[in-house]
Chains A and B, each alone.
Chain A
Amino acid sequence: MANKLIKHHLFWPLSVLAALLLFNLLYSPDFFRIVVRDGNLYGSLIDILNFGAPLILVSIGMTLVIATKGIDLSVGSVVAISGAVACLIVSQASDQSAMGVIWTAIASSLLLAVLLGVWNGVLVSAARIQPIIATLILMVAGRGIAQLITSGQIITVSSAPYQFIGAGSFLSLPFSIFIVGAVLLIAALLARKTALGLFIESVGSNPRASRLAGLRSGTVILSVYMFCSLCAGIAGIILSSNVSSADGNNAGLWYELDAILAVVIGGTSLNGGRFYLMGTVVGALIIQTLTTTIYMIGVPPEITLVVKAFVVLAVCLIQSEAFRKSIMHRWKKRKYPAEQEVATHAS
């Protein structure tokens, strides 16, 4: 039973998250306190969910891309572009609070995000360029495009309905949590209740074999990149609406790295073929909790990078077969001398 528990793919991510939360509880007993103010809930835990929402969204998209043995480096740029487009449209309207304007802004920025996903997907599936390289193009050029849209400045908007997306409350919880929940639900249903998830895993473990088996590998890859960009686009809108401004230069900076990190922590292998959506969500929450914790302890937030470096390394080492073998070998050697002897005689 205990063995089965440890083998579960969510065991390690959840233990890390629990350890982090426990540390926070010991460090500051107020950490878990949630107060009700004006009918809305406030507290560190709610903040983690609220500020972590864009990262969770991007990571969900990234999980599916990585499951096809791909990677999408352009998500950070897409976050910047979609925020910039949405804020530009809202800021140029005569009445910034009109619902029509808001819907136009959201629809056009999400449409653009999907188109950028098509660009990535076509490069990977039709032109058969390595995913790292194909998405690198948009990662470099995308930042420039975002700055082009904002003319290198920070666009600020003053629109209550637009601000609601990222900073508003619904049923006394931040609205962004519901967006994340909806996207997660759709992704999970599509991936686990239809054959799509199986297709994605199949393409990830062997695209050629999948194509020969009658799967449209190209279409699967294309749709995965489109979905990833769409997620990044939604994240961009949430991020820009949370601060009511769009910054082409800094919005979504390093998001691709955090998202990849979240996916890897969640147990999805970068070699493709297997993915865990819930693991990714926990991974993203770990990163956000880590950031919050570091802020709370009072060390400079930039130190987060050092901690992240060790987390990445540790997770990758655990996933590495060569490393596990060398550790297991030593462990077994110590524990079962008789077995060791049998092994040497047998060989």
Chain B
Amino acid sequence: MLLNRKYIPVLVTFGLFLAMFAAGSFRYTGFFSSQVLLNLFIDNAFLIITAVGMTFVIVSGGIDLSVGSVIALTTMVSAALVQQQGWPPSVVIPLVLIMGAVFGSIMGAIIHYFNIQPFIVTLAGMFLARGLCYVISINTITIDNAFYTSAAQTKISLPGGSYISVSVVIALAVVLFAIYMAHYTRTGRNVYAIGGSEQSAVLMGLPVARTKILVYTFSGFCSALAGVVFTFYMLSGYGLHAVGLELDTIAAVVIGGTLLTGGVGYIAGTVIGVLIQGVIQTIISFEGTLSSWWTKIVIGLLLFVFILLQRVLSERRLT
């Protein structure tokens, strides 16, 4: 058998992405262009960054519900400091990134040391971050700082007349770093080991506490970075930004072939999972007559199919 069984979910996801893109290209004129493909990255850069962080959390056997709220909090803090306090972006951006990382590490510490389910702790984190947004302001704060607007409008031209935005470069850098971390470092292997069986990881003497807290710290950092990118994208801070993004993120990770029980999953699969959601949205906007809620229904169906697929694959492995 040439093909390793563990790659099947990722390959299925990739095949599905190609099929959807091909179907779109046949059906709509102007769909098959490099710019449509690149737009998938431009419009979903923040989702890619968040989903990468979430992949680590899910591989370690946890879940992080706070990502959407942390993005909203980041946009809000950035907007308030830059626009209302007049702080320079060179100070604000590192500050919000540290804030996200600290937020994640606190959640990770509570999850590990007090042995409370990640679901509940990150749920509290989600409430807290979303609530803090409204403590800052309940209205939208528009940003017209020169740095942010230029970051939003800069187009990096590629050969062939297409272009990408700064956000895409950041997202790709995060993806490359994450792939390196997951597969070529000791920390990455520890994450997979903990997801496979936490008890065994403890007995093997792996640094479980450090790794688990690190995973949530990284997820918090990714959410904050996604928040910065989101600020570039929206040029405003608002407490209702990125509502329900945690679901899109989890869906992308699952569609990307990561096992929700932990221990199995690939960063590359997650990126394709995000792109599949992007293709669905693009197809719906090209179709014109379909309404936006079909996105949710189709994503729900895909979730169902992939979870069943995982179920079947993991059962076979057991027998």
A interface, CB within 8 angstroms of B: 71, 127-130, 132-134, 136-145, 147-148, 151-152, 248, 257, 260, 264, 270, 300, 302-310, 312-313, 316-317, 319-323
Structural contact, B114 and A140, CB atoms closer than 8 A: no
Q: Does B87 contact A (CB under 8 A)?
A: no
Q: Does B251 contact A (CB under 8 A)?
A: yes
Structural contact, A306 and B303, CB atoms closer than 8 A: no
- Report how far A316 CA is from B121 CA in the complex, Å: 8
Structural contact, B254 and A270, CB atoms closer than 8 A: no
Structural contact, B304 and A137, CB atoms closer than 8 A: yes
Structural contact, B296 and A144, CB atoms closer than 8 A: yes
- Contact A321:B307 (CB < 8 A) given known A141-B301, A144-B294: no
Structural contact, B128 and A306, CB atoms closer than 8 A: yes
Structural contact, B114 and A305, CB atoms closer than 8 A: no
- Report how far A141 CA is from B305 CA in the complex, Å: 13
Q: Does B300 contact A (CB under 8 A)?
A: yes
- Contact A141:B300 (CB < 8 A) given known A306-B131, A317-B114, A322-B113: yes
Chain A residues near B225 (CB-CB < 8 A): none
Chain B residues near A309 (CB-CB < 8 A): 124-128, 131
CB pairs A–B below 8 angstroms (27 shown): A127-B311, A132-B63, A132-B119, A132-B260, A133-B307, A134-B307, A136-B250, A137-B307, A139-B247, A140-B251, A140-B296, A141-B304, A144-B300, A151-B291, A152-B292, A248-B293, A260-B123, A304-B131, A305-B127, A306-B128, A307-B131, A312-B123, A313-B121, A316-B124, A319-B116, A320-B114, A322-B115
**B interface SS class:** helix
**A interface SS class:** helix
- Report how far A323 CA is from B63 CA in the complex, Å: 21
Chain B residues near A300 (CB-CB < 8 A): 134, 138
Nearest B residue to A149 by beta-carbon distance? B293
- Report how far A236 CA is from B182 CA in the complex, Å: 44
Structural contact, A133 and B138, CB atoms closer than 8 A: no
Known: A141-B297, A322-B113. 15 other contacts (CB 8 A): A136-B303, A137-B303, A140-B251, A141-B300, A141-B301, A144-B294, A144-B296, A145-B297, A152-B292, A260-B123, A302-B130, A302-B131, A305-B128, A308-B124, A313-B121
Structural contact, A147 and B114, CB atoms closer than 8 A: no
Contact of B132 among A130, A248, A306 (CB under 8 A): A306
Structural contact, A323 and B114, CB atoms closer than 8 A: yes
Structural contact, B121 and A305, CB atoms closer than 8 A: no
Chain B residues near A317 (CB-CB < 8 A): 110, 114, 116
Nearest A residue to B305 by beta-carbon distance? A137
Structural contact, B291 and A147, CB atoms closer than 8 A: yes
Nearest B residue to A324 by beta-carbon distance? B114
Structural contact, B124 and A306, CB atoms closer than 8 A: no
Chain B residues near A129 (CB-CB < 8 A): 307-308, 311
Nearest A residue to B115 by beta-carbon distance? A322
Q: Does B120 contact A (CB under 8 A)?
A: yes
Structural contact, A140 and B131, CB atoms closer than 8 A: no
